[in-house]
Amino acid sequence: MYIVNLNYIKEVSEVEKHLEEHIKFLEKYYEMGKFICSGRKNPRTGGVILLNVESLSEVESIILEDPFNANEIAEYKITEFFPTKYTRTHLKLN
């Protein structure tokens, strides 16, 4: 499992210009069962995506498709973690 931490490197006005495309990107991976949850930070300095994928290379490949990446809107920090405790009704693990 991976956490992707996005930090905006452009103004929120630039973020807004690409938000609709970013949402379509998110939906694609929710439909594929790769994304567990996502959302923006408060204050609005970026966002977080929780992924259930097989490898770091898969995460990196997915990020390449994000319009925020393609348009240099955000920087990405990837953290792998291994859930040891969770509520089964809310989380399905591979």
68-93 burial, b for 16+ CB within 10 Å, e for fewer? bbeeebbebeeeeeeeeeeeeeeeee
CB atoms within 10 A of CB 17: 14
Q: Has this prediction a pTM greater than 0.75? A: yes
pLDDT 10s digits, 41-65:
999 999 999 999 999 999 999 999 9
| Paired residues of 7 in beta bridges | 46, 75
Give the pLDDT confidence score for residue 85 in this predicted structure: 83
* Domains recognised in the chain with CATH numbers: 2-80 (3.30.70.1060)
Give the pLDDT confidence score for residue 88 in this predicted structure: 67
Tokens 């770091």 identify what position? 56
Low-confidence ranges of the chain (pLDDT < 70): 88-94
